[in-house]
Chain A
Amino acid sequence: GQQLNQSPQSMFIQEGEDVSMNCTSSSIFNTWLWYKQDPGEGPVLLIALYKAGELTSNGRLTAQFGITRKDSFLNISASIPSDVGIYFCAGQLYSGAGSYQLTFGKGTKLSVIP
């Protein structure tokens, strides 16, 4: 199956700092999705990107769909303690007959030091 390389695997930052994480793939996707998973919870969608080159913001979060359709990044500005969690990228590919394939990265574990 398709593989997504998500980096960094984990990061420790000071409160107030900006954060950047990214995902790359050897294959193209139709859609890029970014999820956050809090401890003991299911993933929650943060941002969805549908077109190559698209840049979308959601509050302090900004994500971009790479021009080549093989990568995406997520930025978090002015981090706060509640940003702690695991962030997953996911690439989605329409494979015909109403069927989608969704491939997840392994996650970036974010820790915020007050």
Chain B
Amino acid sequence: NAGVTQTPKFRILKIGQSMTLQCAQDMNHNYMYWYRQDPGMGLKLIYYSVGAGITDKGEVPNGYNVSRSTTEDFPLRLELAAPSQTSVYFCASRNRGLISGNTIYFGEGSWLTVV
């Protein structure tokens, strides 16, 4: 059971370059999320999706874009990389529902450095 899979694990970008962080989950979860984690800080929500075709901004969406063409995949796009986007990025997913057991699962993270 793969769970939430993120690629790449590590990447160095030059200022102004573009790249896409891939995220896939095999748990048939409706909700998917992208967080960034800066040193000494908690996780901040960038974008989220409640289902295929639906995305919405989180707390820190500037400089990023997402798409959700399938239930399984939720890629995060950086169009013009800036040093402020140096961070660790985590993708996460959860199922829909209000009852207990509805918890969020994280990928292993993608370490991005912009130089």
Chain A residues at the B interface, C-beta cutoff of 8 Å: 1, 4, 6, 33, 35, 40-45, 48, 50, 88, 94, 98-100, 102, 104-107
Please give, as numbers and ranges, the residues of chain B lying within 8 Å of A99 by CB-CB distance.
50
Distance (Å) between the CB of A23 and the closest chain B CB?
Answer: 10
Number of residues on chain B facing chain A (CB within 8 A): 25
Interface residues of B in 32-47 (CB under 8 A from A): 33, 35, 40-45
Q: Are A41 and B43 in contact (CB under 8 A)?
A: no
Known: A4-B42, A43-B90, A104-B43. A33 touches B100 (CB 8 A): no
Q: Are B42 and A107 in contact (CB under 8 A)?
A: yes
Q: A1-B59, A33-B103, A48-B100 are in contact. List 11 more A-B contacts (CB 8 A).
A: A6-B42, A42-B4, A42-B106, A42-B109, A43-B106, A102-B45, A104-B42, A106-B40, A106-B42, A107-B40, A107-B41
Please give, as numbers and ranges, the residues of chain A lying within 8 Å of B45 by CB-CB distance.
102
B108 at the interface (CB under 8 A from A): yes
Alpha-carbon distance A100/B59, docked complex (angstroms): 13
B96 at the interface (CB under 8 A from A): yes
